A and B are shown apart, each in its own frame.
Chain A
Amino acid sequence: GNSVTQMEGPVTLSEEAFLTINCTYTATGYPSLFWYVQYPGEGLQLLLKATKADDKGSNKGFEATYRKETTSFHLEKGSVQVSDSAVYFCALILTGGGNKLTFGTGTQLKVEL
């Protein structure tokens, strides 16, 4: 079946540090890939997406590249801020069958001054 594997958290970084959160996937077919972010006490928000191999999604300084050869979609940001502290979820979707998202378990990021 389809699955998403994320690196274990929590990840603690100092402000202005470089961020990488690893995400790999298993899918029967060619999925679209997503990163969602959840701030404390809130629902999930779409951060970025990529719909085909070699596409790069970007938003708010975050980037992720769809790597079909390594089945990966790692999230990166060059300089994190305290306001980036949240839980980040990698997810995939295969068109059809209800267009259901399959989520990873989430990675908590804490950014300190």
Chain B
Amino acid sequence: NAGVTQTPKFRILKIGQSMTLQCTQDMNHNYMYWYRQDPGMGLKLIYYSVGAGITDKGEVPNGYNVSRSTTEDFPLRLELAAPSQTSVYFCATSLGQGGYTFGSGTRLTVV
């Protein structure tokens, strides 16, 4: 059982480039989340989804976009990468009672 799979694990982007961080789950969870983790800052919610076709902004959505066309997939899109987006990105899923399952993360560096 794979759980939550994130790809890629590492990526270096140049300023202004775009990329999509992939997140796929096989647990049939309705809720999916994208967080970023910066040193000493904990985790900040970027976007979340309560089910296929439904997404909403979190605490720090600027510079990002998401879509949720299926229950399984919740990709995060960066359109114009900036150095401030250098971070570790985590995707998570939940049945709705706070017991999140996290992916192993994507470490992104923007230079």
Interfacial residues, chain A to chain B (CB-CB below 8 A): 32, 34, 36, 41-46, 49, 51, 89, 91, 93, 95, 98-101, 103-106
Contacts and interface: CB of A to CB of B under 8 A. Distances in A.
Nearest to B48: A98
Nearest to A42: B104
Interface of B: 4, 31, 33, 40-43, 45, 48, 50, 56, 58, 90, 92, 94, 96-100, 102-105
Contacts of A51: 97
Contacts of B42: 89, 103-106
Interface centre among B43, B50, B102, B104 (most CB of A within 10 A): B43
A40 B98 CA distance: 22
Given A43-B90, A98-B31, A98-B50, A32 B102 contact: no
Contacts of B102: 43-45
Contacts of A89: 42-43
A90 B92 CA distance: 16
Contacts, number: 58
18 contacts: A34-B98, A41-B104, A42-B105, A43-B4, A43-B104, A49-B98, A89-B42, A89-B43, A95-B97, A98-B48, A99-B98, A100-B45, A101-B33, A101-B45, A103-B42, A104-B42, A105-B41, A106-B40
Contacts of A46: 99-100
Contacts of B4: 43
A98 B56 contact: yes
